Amino acid sequence: MQRGAWWRPFCLAWTEKPDCADNVRRHTEKSGGRPDAELFMDLQEFTLSTNQAAPQADLPPMLQALWHLRKGDWNKAHAIVQEREDEQSSAWVHAHLHRVEGDLSNAGYWYRRAGRKAANSGLEEEWKALVAHFLMESS
């Protein structure tokens, strides 16, 4: 598989999800009509980067939060999203964090703040969808 093309099969599996279709469209527009244009990093690279001691210095804040969550540092991830609690993107990750914690009513509040429906997928699937979204946004 060509680097940067990871999201196509991932998103094709989520075609009923409007966010994914919008991300594919935006990425295609940003890359001059090339949907397989190279991204900042792909999902596999991002996941593998959690084997390192620290995230890449240039990771956007929401990807930093998701990186720390994957490493098992929920508190660090939560601190990052709390610093930006007025941003919709932060509210979406914040919702996921409270879902991971098992606090579904608090998660519901943050999904509403993010303007999104509460996730009904597994936690791993949602984490991947969030990472995919923010990787595309940063490319």
In the chain, where the domains are located: 7-138
Residue 39 has pLDDT above 70, yes or no: no
Residue 40 has a pLDDT of: 59
pLDDT tens, position by position, 5-14: 333 334 433 3
Residues 73, 96: Cα–Cα separation, whole Å: 14
User: What's the chain look like in SS3?
Assistant: CCCCCCHHHHHHCCCCCHHHHHHHHHHHHHCCCCCCCCCCCCHHHHHHHCCCCCCCCCCCHHHHHHHHHHCCCHHHHHHHHHCCCCCHHHHHHHHHHHHHHCCHHHHHHHHHHHCCCCCCCCHHHHHHHHHHHHHHHHC
Residue 10 has a pLDDT of: 41
Q: How confident is the model at residue 63 (pLDDT cuts 50, 70, 90)?
A: very high
The verdict on pTM exceeding 0.95 is no
Residue 16 has pLDDT above 90, yes or no: no
Residue 108 has a pLDDT of: 98
Residue 28 has a pLDDT of: 46
Q: How confident is the model at residue 15 (pLDDT cuts 50, 70, 90)?
A: very low
Residue 107 has pLDDT above 60, yes or no: yes
Residue 138 has a pLDDT of: 86
Residue 27 has a pLDDT of: 46
